[in-house]
Amino acid sequence: MKLFEFNPEKLNHVFTITNQDLNKEAVLNILNISNISLNEFAHELINSTSFDLGNLGTTTSIIELKLEDIGLNCGGSFSDIESAISNSNISVCPIELGPYLRLKYNAQIESKIFTKNQHPDESIVIFSKPIIRNDLYPKGFYLRNYDGKLWLRGYRCSEDYIWNGKDRMLFQYIP
């Protein structure tokens, strides 16, 4: 039984990402040409031997949701989110979609508030499984428009980090 049955015709938050069969060097070059900034953690993730662009399918449907949309009104940890979406038509995104999502998602609300060691306002987390389950290694990516500049940023957090119910995330949508 699926807990969430989102109708794509009723949601304007569902879109498709097409794999362009690029290698890491080409992806980094396109991000650079597109004026996308990356932080140190994003570079670390992309340059990891576990980051394999060959893992991507031809197309992937993506949906943006707040955690409260999946029943986590008070937010939740990574495992809480995994539990909330189990048996539904949404799932984790392949981490390799991060650069493609940043390129596609270019009309993001701008945030001018600087944050450190907390989830930034107006950012959108790409919900993916960590490459390495270690609190000192980046867990995944988030998208941010900070002070007029688009960013693909890697982030670190502990396994028990709690996201807010209003936090926005990108999930893979399985029609």
* Average pLDDT over all residues of the chain: 87
Interior/surface letters 121-134, b for 16+ CB within 10 angstroms, e for the rest: eebbbbbbebbeee
Q: Is residue 8 in a domain? A: no
Domain assignment of residue 7, yes or no? no
Classify residue 35 as left (phi > 0), alpha (psi -120 to 50) or beta.
left
Give CA–CA dist 104/77, Å, rounded: 27
Domain presence at residue 37: yes
Q: What is the pLDDT of residue 1?
A: 35
Q: What is the pLDDT of residue 133?
A: 85
Q: Is the pLDDT of residue 155 over 80?
A: yes
- Indicate the SS3 state at residue 97: helix
Q: How many CB atoms lie within 10 A of CB 145?
A: 19
Compute the distance between CA of residue 152 and CA of residue 27 in angstroms, rounded to an integer. 12
Residue 3, in any domain of the structure: no
Q: Is residue 86 pLDDT above 60, yes or no? A: yes
Quick one: average pLDDT of 84-95?
A: 92
- Domain span holding position 60: 13-173
Q: pLDDT by residue (tens digit) across 37-54?
A: 999 999 999 999 999 998
**Domain-embedded: residue 156:** yes
pLDDT value, residue 117: 61
Residue 1 lies in a domain: no
What total of structural domains would you count in the chain? 1
Q: Residue type for 168, please? A: R
Asked if residue 119 belongs to a domain, the reply is yes
CA-to-CA separations, 33 to 29, 44, 163, 166, in angstroms, rounded: 6, 20, 32, 33
Residue 93 backbone class (left: φ over 0; alpha: ψ -120 to 50; beta: rest): beta
5, part of any domain: no
Q: Indicate whether 103 pLDDT > 70.
A: yes
